[in-house]
Amino acid sequence: MTYSRIIGTGGYLPEKVLTNADLEKLVDTNEAWIYSRTGIRERRIAADDEFTCDLAERAALNAIEAAGILNNEIDLIVVATTTADQVFPSTACLLQHRLGIEGPPAFDVQAVCAGFLFAIDVADKFIQTGSARCALVVGAETFSRIIDWSDRRTCVLFGDGAGAVVLKVDNEPGILSTHLHCDGKYKDLLYVPVGVSRNFDRIKTGTAFTTMQGGEVFRWAVTAMSDIVDETLDANGMSRDDIDWLVPHQANIRIINAVGKRARIPAEKVVVTVDRHGNTSAASVPLALDEAVRDGRIQSGQHVLIEGFGGGFTWGSAMIRM
Protein backbone atom coordinates (compact mmCIF):
# COMPACT_ATOMS: atom_id res chain seq x y z
CA MET A 1 0.00 0.00 0.00
CA THR A 2 1.01 3.59 -0.62
CA TYR A 3 0.48 6.13 2.13
CA SER A 4 1.36 9.72 2.88
CA ARG A 5 3.27 10.65 6.01
CA ILE A 6 4.00 14.02 7.62
CA ILE A 7 7.78 14.52 7.58
CA GLY A 8 7.91 18.17 8.64
CA THR A 9 5.74 20.92 10.09
CA GLY A 10 6.13 24.70 10.15
CA GLY A 11 4.36 27.81 11.30
CA TYR A 12 4.56 31.56 11.09
CA LEU A 13 2.85 34.37 12.99
CA PRO A 14 3.13 38.05 12.03
CA GLU A 15 5.07 40.22 14.47
CA LYS A 16 2.30 42.61 15.49
CA VAL A 17 0.48 41.48 18.64
CA LEU A 18 -3.04 42.80 19.24
CA THR A 19 -4.04 42.35 22.87
CA ASN A 20 -7.47 42.52 24.46
CA ALA A 21 -6.38 45.81 26.03
CA ASP A 22 -5.70 47.16 22.51
CA LEU A 23 -9.21 46.10 21.47
CA GLU A 24 -10.70 48.00 24.42
CA LYS A 25 -9.52 51.15 22.60
CA LEU A 26 -11.28 50.15 19.37
CA VAL A 27 -14.70 48.88 20.48
CA ASP A 28 -16.93 48.70 23.56
CA THR A 29 -15.38 45.56 25.05
CA ASN A 30 -13.09 44.51 27.89
CA GLU A 31 -10.43 41.94 28.72
CA ALA A 32 -12.69 40.10 31.17
CA TRP A 33 -15.48 39.60 28.59
CA ILE A 34 -13.14 38.50 25.81
CA TYR A 35 -11.12 36.09 27.95
CA SER A 36 -14.08 34.55 29.78
CA ARG A 37 -16.20 34.13 26.61
CA THR A 38 -13.44 33.05 24.21
CA GLY A 39 -10.21 32.19 26.06
CA ILE A 40 -8.34 34.62 23.80
CA ARG A 41 -5.71 36.94 25.30
CA GLU A 42 -4.05 38.15 22.10
CA ARG A 43 -3.83 37.55 18.36
CA ARG A 44 -1.35 38.49 15.60
CA ILE A 45 -2.12 40.94 12.81
CA ALA A 46 -0.27 41.07 9.48
CA ALA A 47 1.58 44.30 8.64
CA ASP A 48 -0.02 46.51 5.97
CA ASP A 49 2.52 45.30 3.42
CA GLU A 50 2.32 41.64 4.46
CA PHE A 51 -0.01 39.34 2.54
CA THR A 52 -1.26 35.77 2.84
CA CYS A 53 1.45 34.43 0.49
CA ASP A 54 4.14 36.07 2.66
CA LEU A 55 2.84 34.22 5.71
CA ALA A 56 2.46 30.99 3.71
CA GLU A 57 6.05 31.26 2.46
CA ARG A 58 7.50 31.63 5.98
CA ALA A 59 5.50 28.66 7.29
CA ALA A 60 6.37 26.59 4.20
CA LEU A 61 10.11 27.29 4.58
CA ASN A 62 9.93 26.20 8.24
CA ALA A 63 8.18 22.97 7.27
CA ILE A 64 10.62 22.29 4.42
CA GLU A 65 13.57 22.82 6.77
CA ALA A 66 12.04 20.49 9.37
CA ALA A 67 11.42 17.88 6.66
CA GLY A 68 15.02 18.12 5.46
CA ILE A 69 14.05 18.16 1.79
CA LEU A 70 14.98 20.35 -1.16
CA ASN A 71 12.30 22.67 -2.55
CA ASN A 72 12.45 20.93 -5.91
CA GLU A 73 11.43 17.60 -4.36
CA ILE A 74 7.94 19.09 -3.87
CA ASP A 75 5.63 17.94 -6.66
CA LEU A 76 2.31 19.27 -5.31
CA ILE A 77 1.32 22.43 -3.42
CA VAL A 78 -2.13 22.86 -1.88
CA VAL A 79 -2.91 26.07 -0.02
CA ALA A 80 -6.04 26.38 2.11
CA THR A 81 -7.06 30.03 2.33
CA THR A 82 -10.10 32.28 2.33
CA THR A 83 -7.99 35.41 2.04
CA ALA A 84 -5.98 34.90 -1.15
CA ASP A 85 -3.55 37.66 -2.18
CA GLN A 86 -5.23 38.02 -5.56
CA VAL A 87 -8.31 36.74 -7.42
CA PHE A 88 -5.80 34.92 -9.56
CA PRO A 89 -3.20 33.46 -9.83
CA SER A 90 -3.88 31.30 -6.81
CA THR A 91 -1.85 31.77 -3.63
CA ALA A 92 -0.43 28.29 -4.27
CA CYS A 93 0.92 29.41 -7.67
CA LEU A 94 2.45 32.53 -6.11
CA LEU A 95 3.99 30.38 -3.38
CA GLN A 96 5.32 27.86 -5.89
CA HIS A 97 7.15 30.66 -7.73
CA ARG A 98 8.59 32.05 -4.45
CA LEU A 99 9.95 28.57 -3.68
CA GLY A 100 11.59 28.35 -7.11
CA ILE A 101 9.56 25.32 -8.16
CA GLU A 102 8.42 25.00 -11.78
CA GLY A 103 5.86 22.65 -13.27
CA PRO A 104 3.99 20.53 -10.73
CA PRO A 105 0.38 21.32 -9.78
CA ALA A 106 -0.30 24.06 -7.24
CA PHE A 107 -3.81 25.21 -6.30
CA ASP A 108 -5.89 26.73 -3.52
CA VAL A 109 -8.81 25.15 -1.69
CA GLN A 110 -11.40 27.21 0.13
CA ALA A 111 -13.33 25.74 3.05
CA VAL A 112 -12.72 28.59 5.51
CA CYS A 113 -11.75 27.31 8.98
CA ALA A 114 -11.94 23.65 7.84
CA GLY A 115 -9.76 24.41 4.81
CA PHE A 116 -6.62 22.71 6.07
CA LEU A 117 -8.52 19.42 6.47
CA PHE A 118 -9.72 19.68 2.86
CA ALA A 119 -6.18 20.44 1.70
CA ILE A 120 -4.70 17.47 3.60
CA ASP A 121 -7.39 15.19 2.19
CA VAL A 122 -6.63 16.22 -1.39
CA ALA A 123 -2.86 15.95 -0.98
CA ASP A 124 -3.18 12.56 0.73
CA LYS A 125 -5.24 11.27 -2.20
CA PHE A 126 -2.71 12.60 -4.74
CA ILE A 127 0.01 10.66 -2.92
CA GLN A 128 -2.05 7.49 -2.37
CA THR A 129 -2.89 7.33 -6.08
CA GLY A 130 0.70 7.90 -7.19
CA SER A 131 0.03 11.36 -8.64
CA ALA A 132 2.47 13.02 -6.24
CA ARG A 133 5.33 11.89 -4.00
CA CYS A 134 6.00 14.96 -1.87
CA ALA A 135 3.29 17.53 -1.12
CA LEU A 136 3.46 20.89 0.61
CA VAL A 137 0.15 21.59 2.36
CA VAL A 138 -0.40 25.06 3.80
CA GLY A 139 -3.15 26.83 5.72
CA ALA A 140 -2.61 30.60 5.54
CA GLU A 141 -4.84 33.56 6.31
CA THR A 142 -4.91 37.32 6.70
CA PHE A 143 -8.40 37.13 8.18
CA SER A 144 -7.95 40.57 9.73
CA ARG A 145 -8.60 41.97 6.22
CA ILE A 146 -12.21 40.69 6.22
CA ILE A 147 -13.09 41.82 9.73
CA ASP A 148 -15.14 44.88 10.62
CA TRP A 149 -12.93 46.47 13.27
CA SER A 150 -15.91 48.35 14.65
CA ASP A 151 -17.96 45.16 15.26
CA ARG A 152 -17.18 43.84 18.74
CA ARG A 153 -19.04 40.57 18.06
CA THR A 154 -16.42 39.47 15.52
CA CYS A 155 -13.28 41.62 15.75
CA VAL A 156 -12.16 40.15 19.08
CA LEU A 157 -12.11 36.61 17.68
CA PHE A 158 -9.80 36.46 14.67
CA GLY A 159 -6.09 36.71 13.90
CA ASP A 160 -3.58 36.14 11.09
CA GLY A 161 -1.03 33.35 10.59
CA ALA A 162 0.09 30.35 8.56
CA GLY A 163 0.94 26.71 9.19
CA ALA A 164 2.32 24.06 6.87
CA VAL A 165 3.20 20.39 6.61
CA VAL A 166 5.27 18.38 4.15
CA LEU A 167 3.68 15.05 3.23
CA LYS A 168 5.82 12.33 1.66
CA VAL A 169 5.01 8.96 0.13
CA ASP A 170 5.70 6.00 2.46
CA ASN A 171 4.96 2.29 2.79
CA GLU A 172 3.67 2.90 6.31
CA PRO A 173 0.79 5.23 7.28
CA GLY A 174 0.92 8.28 7.90
CA ILE A 175 -2.45 9.69 7.26
CA LEU A 176 -4.75 6.84 8.36
CA SER A 177 -8.02 8.42 7.25
CA THR A 178 -9.63 11.72 6.30
CA HIS A 179 -13.28 12.74 6.68
CA LEU A 180 -14.90 15.76 5.03
CA HIS A 181 -18.41 17.25 5.25
CA CYS A 182 -20.32 20.30 4.05
CA ASP A 183 -23.86 21.55 4.50
CA GLY A 184 -24.63 24.70 2.53
CA LYS A 185 -28.01 25.23 4.13
CA TYR A 186 -26.15 26.98 6.95
CA LYS A 187 -24.67 29.53 4.54
CA ASP A 188 -26.38 32.44 6.35
CA LEU A 189 -24.90 31.73 9.79
CA LEU A 190 -21.26 32.55 8.98
CA TYR A 191 -20.32 34.35 5.78
CA VAL A 192 -18.80 37.28 3.93
CA PRO A 193 -21.60 38.48 1.60
CA VAL A 194 -19.16 39.75 -1.01
CA GLY A 195 -17.19 38.23 -3.87
CA VAL A 196 -15.93 39.00 -7.34
CA SER A 197 -19.27 38.16 -8.93
CA ARG A 198 -21.49 39.65 -6.23
CA ASN A 199 -21.38 42.97 -4.35
CA PHE A 200 -17.89 43.63 -5.72
CA ASP A 201 -18.30 47.33 -4.96
CA ARG A 202 -17.95 46.45 -1.27
CA ILE A 203 -14.45 45.16 -1.96
CA LYS A 204 -13.62 48.49 -3.56
CA THR A 205 -14.99 50.37 -0.55
CA GLY A 206 -13.26 48.03 1.92
CA THR A 207 -16.46 46.76 3.54
CA ALA A 208 -16.29 43.03 2.75
CA PHE A 209 -16.68 41.78 6.30
CA THR A 210 -17.30 38.53 8.18
CA THR A 211 -20.85 38.22 9.52
CA MET A 212 -21.76 35.60 12.10
CA GLN A 213 -24.59 34.29 14.24
CA GLY A 214 -22.18 33.47 17.07
CA GLY A 215 -24.44 31.34 19.26
CA GLU A 216 -25.67 29.14 16.38
CA VAL A 217 -22.15 28.69 15.03
CA PHE A 218 -20.97 27.76 18.51
CA ARG A 219 -23.58 25.00 18.88
CA TRP A 220 -22.91 23.54 15.44
CA ALA A 221 -19.15 23.66 15.90
CA VAL A 222 -19.40 21.65 19.13
CA THR A 223 -21.76 19.06 17.63
CA ALA A 224 -19.86 18.63 14.35
CA MET A 225 -16.38 18.52 15.90
CA SER A 226 -17.37 16.03 18.61
CA ASP A 227 -19.40 13.76 16.30
CA ILE A 228 -16.53 13.58 13.81
CA VAL A 229 -14.27 12.19 16.54
CA ASP A 230 -16.50 9.08 16.66
CA GLU A 231 -16.66 8.90 12.85
CA THR A 232 -12.87 9.02 12.69
CA LEU A 233 -12.34 6.43 15.43
CA ASP A 234 -14.94 4.06 13.89
CA ALA A 235 -13.28 4.30 10.46
CA ASN A 236 -10.00 3.15 11.99
CA GLY A 237 -11.37 0.59 14.46
CA MET A 238 -9.81 2.66 17.24
CA SER A 239 -11.04 3.65 20.69
CA ARG A 240 -10.76 7.16 22.21
CA ASP A 241 -7.91 5.87 24.42
CA ASP A 242 -5.88 5.36 21.23
CA ILE A 243 -5.85 9.13 20.62
CA ASP A 244 -2.63 10.63 21.95
CA TRP A 245 -3.49 14.19 20.91
CA LEU A 246 -6.54 16.06 19.68
CA VAL A 247 -5.70 19.15 17.61
CA PRO A 248 -9.03 20.94 17.07
CA HIS A 249 -9.76 24.14 15.19
CA GLN A 250 -8.95 27.03 17.50
CA ALA A 251 -12.00 29.32 17.53
CA ASN A 252 -12.98 29.57 21.18
CA ILE A 253 -11.73 27.75 24.31
CA ARG A 254 -15.36 27.09 25.29
CA ILE A 255 -15.92 25.27 21.99
CA ILE A 256 -12.69 23.30 22.44
CA ASN A 257 -13.58 22.34 26.03
CA ALA A 258 -17.13 21.37 25.06
CA VAL A 259 -15.82 19.20 22.19
CA GLY A 260 -13.35 17.50 24.55
CA LYS A 261 -16.09 16.85 27.10
CA ARG A 262 -18.66 15.58 24.57
CA ALA A 263 -16.06 13.42 22.81
CA ARG A 264 -14.67 12.27 26.20
CA ILE A 265 -11.08 13.28 25.50
CA PRO A 266 -9.19 14.57 28.55
CA ALA A 267 -8.06 18.22 28.43
CA GLU A 268 -4.39 17.15 28.87
CA LYS A 269 -4.57 15.55 25.41
CA VAL A 270 -5.98 18.63 23.67
CA VAL A 271 -3.62 21.13 22.01
CA VAL A 272 -4.66 24.75 22.63
CA THR A 273 -3.25 27.88 20.98
CA VAL A 274 -6.39 30.01 20.82
CA ASP A 275 -5.25 32.06 23.84
CA ARG A 276 -2.30 33.45 21.85
CA HIS A 277 -3.44 33.08 18.22
CA GLY A 278 -7.18 33.75 18.27
CA ASN A 279 -9.00 32.15 15.37
CA THR A 280 -6.64 32.05 12.36
CA SER A 281 -9.17 30.13 10.22
CA ALA A 282 -7.41 27.67 7.86
CA ALA A 283 -4.09 28.29 9.64
CA SER A 284 -5.30 27.33 13.11
CA VAL A 285 -4.90 23.55 12.91
CA PRO A 286 -1.45 23.43 11.23
CA LEU A 287 -0.18 26.17 13.58
CA ALA A 288 -1.34 24.20 16.64
CA LEU A 289 0.07 20.97 15.21
CA ASP A 290 3.43 22.64 14.55
CA GLU A 291 3.59 24.12 18.05
CA ALA A 292 2.98 20.75 19.71
CA VAL A 293 5.51 19.00 17.44
CA ARG A 294 8.18 21.63 18.08
CA ASP A 295 7.73 21.72 21.87
CA GLY A 296 8.04 17.94 21.97
CA ARG A 297 4.50 17.06 23.08
CA ILE A 298 3.67 15.25 19.83
CA GLN A 299 6.13 12.40 19.32
CA SER A 300 6.87 10.13 16.40
CA GLY A 301 4.52 7.12 16.32
CA GLN A 302 1.72 8.85 18.24
CA HIS A 303 -1.85 9.10 16.98
CA VAL A 304 -3.08 12.64 16.41
CA LEU A 305 -6.65 13.52 15.46
CA ILE A 306 -6.89 16.91 13.74
CA GLU A 307 -10.26 18.52 13.04
CA GLY A 308 -11.77 21.74 11.73
CA PHE A 309 -15.10 23.53 11.38
CA GLY A 310 -15.99 26.61 9.37
CA GLY A 311 -18.43 28.64 7.31
CA GLY A 312 -20.57 26.76 4.81
CA PHE A 313 -20.80 24.87 7.06
CA THR A 314 -17.70 22.82 6.32
CA TRP A 315 -16.07 20.37 8.70
CA GLY A 316 -13.49 17.63 8.56
CA SER A 317 -10.93 15.52 10.38
CA ALA A 318 -7.88 13.35 9.82
CA MET A 319 -6.34 10.58 11.91
CA ILE A 320 -2.58 10.78 11.66
CA ARG A 321 0.19 8.50 12.86
CA MET A 322 3.15 10.83 13.29
**Catalytic positions:** 113, 249, 279
Rule CB under 6 A: say whether 320 interacts with ligand UT7: no
Q: Which of residues 193-252 bind ligand UT7 (CB under 6 A)?
A: 212, 214-215, 217-218, 221, 249, 251-252
Q: How far apart are CA 315 and CA 182, in angstroms?
A: 6
Cβ-based nearer residue to ligand UT7, 123 or 221? 221
End-to-end CA distance of the chain: 17
- Binding residues with ligand UT7: total (CB under 6 A): 23
Quick note: the x/- pattern for ligand UT7 over 112-141, rule CB under 6 A, is -x----------------------------
Q: How far apart are CA 55 and CA 111, in angstroms?
A: 18
Let me know: does 251 contact 260? Beta carbons within 8 Å.
no
Rule CB under 6 A: say whether 314 interacts with ligand UT7: no
Half-sphere exposure of 82 (CA within 13 A, CB side): 30
Q: How far apart are CA 147 and CA 56, in angstroms?
A: 20
Rule CB under 6 A: say whether 257 interacts with ligand UT7: no
Strands 76-80 and 134-142: parallel
Q: Which of residues 59-98 bind ligand UT7 (CB under 6 A)?
A: none
Residue 11: helix, strand or coil by DSSP?
A: strand
In whole angstroms, the minimum distance from the beta carbon of 171 to ligand UT7 comes to 36
Q: Could you tell me which of 300, 257, 322, 287 has the C-alpha nearest to residue 44?
A: 287
Rule CB under 6 A: say whether 156 interacts with ligand UT7: yes
Instruction: Give the residue, chosen from 20, 142, 226, 279, that forms a contact with ligand UT7 under the rule CB under 6 A.
Output: 279
Q: What angle do CA 15, 18, 20 make, to 5 degrees?
A: 155
Rule CB under 6 A: say whether 32 interacts with ligand UT7: no
Under the rule (CB under 6 A), what is the footprint of ligand UT7? 29, 33-34, 37-38, 113, 152-153, 156, 190, 212, 214-215, 217-218, 221, 249, 251-252, 255, 279, 309-310
